[in-house]
Amino acid sequence: MADILQEATRCLKCKKPLCKEGCPVKTEIPTIMQLFLDGKMDEAGEILFENNPLTAMCSLICPHEKNCMGHCILNRKGTPIKFYEVEQYISSFYLEKARLNKPEFNGCRLAIIGAGPAGITLAIIMAKKGYKVTIIDSKDKIGGVLRYGIPEFRLPKSLLDKLLKRMYELGILFRPNTLIGPTITIDDLFRDGYDAIFIGTGVWKPNSLRIPGESLGNVHYAIDYLKNPDSYDNLGDHVVIIGAGNVAMDAARTILRKSHAKVDIIFFRGREEVTALKEELDLAEIDGAHMNYYLNTIKIEDDGIIVEKIEKVEHEDGTVEYVCDHDNPFKIESSSVVIAIGQGAQANIVKNTKQIDTNQKGLIEADKTGATTRPGVYAAGDVVSGAKTVVEAVAATKLAAEEIDKFVKEKRGMKIE
């Protein structure tokens, strides 16, 4: 607690706070800091929650060094303010203590497909406006990537359970274990009286290497592993992870915690080109993961992977070329292989409905307001942008909420506030 108080005291309370501008949801950081110091916890918590319903989670998993901390004016000559520590203290307190009142029903219904960051954010915003909200998910609990993609040691799932209680207080209905597309379609939802539909299903389809051996029994995809690590109880004593994004780091750190396996991470570029956050890479190495750079995996076998070295060639004109040594492949032995080279969107919904366009990557096409190519259907978050941060999904969803409210009320001839 003393450290948190010190951070709040160190804050300069800038009149034009750069930290706020660096936050995708424009959190009122100086205001929150002052309220905290004044002992006005309830007010501070309410402001945080109203601005970002996932504030308790974002305070733990945001790339702070890029957002608030990265823009803090003290970062120029010293140590930036760790606002996220204060945010976590306030928001977790608020989530535990707050009791939300169910607004009067405004006569409008909204269906939300996907109970991840985008879906949860929209559900809370629209329920507060008086909408009757039903949130539908193929899994048994809310959270999406927050629950099934981020390890417990980074994000306690108890926070999501507390958030669900607050959602129930607002009258939000949750329909679990329901896959929209094959049985219930978008057309069915409109038939049953929903005024608008929002798709926030994220990206859960693992990208494939398309190399021999990928279907072997010792091969797994990182995004699938993270859904339920305890079901992978036979990885053996040496796991090789292919890929170097945040998902790869989460998989590595989870494996190191749940087993005695040695973990090697294989990446086809150099350290400076790793896609994971620097902090995540550093922590993975501290936890015991070993990084292997400039290696291209060409085959997977029962007892390891076949790789070839890559040479980075920098030409005089500034161009860079990567040259594979095809003539000298070699083997890295391992008991299991985990592939972590990104994810795409599932096609269950768009395959079973009309007028919803997708791009070449299978992501839903939507404008900045979340409107898709089918009237009344909106989308935001990773299913539109590809895998990005949770706070970016919240920011995009807040824009979609405004447009959905406008669309529904115009359709019904209601007053737009």
Q: What is the CATH number of the domain that holds 302?
A: 3.50.50.60
Cα distance between residue 152 and residue 301, in whole Å: 31
Q: Are residues 306 and 268 in the same domain?
A: yes
Q: Specify the pLDDT at position 78.
A: 86
Q: Specify the pLDDT at position 237.
A: 97
Q: Specify the pLDDT at position 309.
A: 97
Q: What is the CATH number for 7? A: 1.10.1060.10
Q: Closest Cα partner for 176 from 254, 119, 99? A: 119
Q: Are residues 188 and 217 in the same domain?
A: no
Q: Are residues 321 and 390 in the same domain?
A: no
The SS3 call for residue 89 is: helix
Take residue 400 and report the two structure tokens written for it.
């979609």
294 domain residue, yes or no: yes
Cα distance between residue 302 and residue 253, in whole Å: 23
Q: Are residues 82 and 191 in the same domain?
A: no
132 domain residue, yes or no: yes
225 domain residue, yes or no: yes
67 domain residue, yes or no: yes
Q: Are residues 146 and 221 in the same domain?
A: no
393 domain residue, yes or no: yes
Cα separation of the two ends of the chain = 41
Cα distance between residue 62 and residue 23, in whole Å: 10
The DSSP string of 138-204 is SSSSS-THHHHTS-TTTS-THHHHHHHHHHHHTT-EEE-S--BTTTB-HHHHHHTT-SEEEE-----
Q: Are residues 14 and 117 in the same domain?
A: no
Among 289, 316, 343, identify where a domain stops.
Answer: 343
238: domain range? 206-343
Cα distance between residue 262 and residue 254, in whole Å: 12
Q: Are residues 314 and 278 in the same domain?
A: yes
Q: Where are the beta strands (DSSP E) in 29-169?
A: 109-113, 132-136
Cα distance between residue 168 and residue 178, in whole Å: 19
Among 325, 343, 361, identify where a domain stops.
Answer: 343
Q: Are residues 62 and 11 in the same domain?
A: yes
Distance (Å) of CA 121 to CA 65, 117, 257, 337: 23, 6, 31, 35
Q: Are residues 84 and 141 in the same domain?
A: no
Among 62, 77, 97, identify where a domain stops.
Answer: 97
Q: Closest Cα partner for 295 from 303, 286, 304? A: 304
Number of domains in the chain: 3
216 domain residue, yes or no: yes
102 domain residue, yes or no: no
Q: Are residues 217 and 334 in the same domain?
A: yes
Cα distance between residue 174 and residue 114, in whole Å: 10
Q: Are residues 245 and 280 in the same domain?
A: yes
Residue type, 237: D
Residue type, 40: K
Distance (Å) of CA 392 to CA 34, 89, 323, 325: 26, 22, 36, 40
385 domain residue, yes or no: yes
For the chain, list residues with pLDDT below 50: none
Q: Specify the pLDDT at position 2.
A: 59
Q: Are residues 48 and 158 in the same domain?
A: no
